[in-house]
Amino acid sequence: MSEAVIAQDFERYAFLQRLFHWLIALLVLGSLAGGAMLYAYGFEGLRDTFGLEMTNTIYKYHKTAGVMILGLMVLRILLRLAYGHPPRPSTMSSGTYGLARATHLALYALLIVMPVLGWAATAAGGFPVQFFDLNLPPIIGKNEALSGTLFTLHGIVGVVIGVLVLIHIAAALRHWLILKDGVMQRIGLP
């Protein structure tokens, strides 16, 4: 393979795109883990296990992470529009590339939808939407029945995101450890 083709294959995303990818990845993994814990225990279970103060802290930081993901995803989309993306690596088939693009598009969309659903569900339940110690305005009015439906959708979207994240990680590990084709260098921070 010529040096020109190798250089094209290893063309990278802009630094800010790579930085946002990894920040969002950490927040998403933490949010998914926290959301699973919130689902498994419920408010009463968390309160009985960890106490009211810790339970409120867990909820606050789950909401904070969601707001951060929403804001960072909006900025990430703007960066994508401004900087674009590297061309398809010559080592990747067009079919595989299409699947990767579809997975990325689904993650982008769901990582916008998920926090909006959480914000709306929280507001409809009459609970504060927190960003650290700041209470954000509700995006809809109180409606407990709607809140339950929105929280159910929030949970379903969380499961779908979890599956897509696992697929994304598996594909990344395949490129990095098995194929060793340089695809991981496109998004790596160093």
Given a cut of 80, whether residue 177 has pLDDT beyond it is yes
What is the signed CA dihedral for 8, 14, 18, 21, rounded to 10 degrees? -110
pLDDT digits (tens, 9 = 90+) for 7-42: 444 589 999 999 999 999 999 999 999 999 999 999
The boundaries of the domain holding residue 28 are 7-186
Query: Average pLDDT for residues 98-118, to the nearest whole number?
Result: 97
pTM for this prediction: 0.91
Q: Is 1 a member of any domain?
A: no
- Residue 91's pLDDT is 85
Q: Is 2 a member of any domain?
A: no
Domain at 161, CATH number: 1.20.950
Given a cut of 80, whether residue 4 has pLDDT beyond it is no
The total number of structural domains in the chain stands at 1
Q: What share of the chain is helix, strand, coil (3-state, %, to 5)?
A: 75, 5, 20
Q: Is 103 a member of any domain?
A: yes
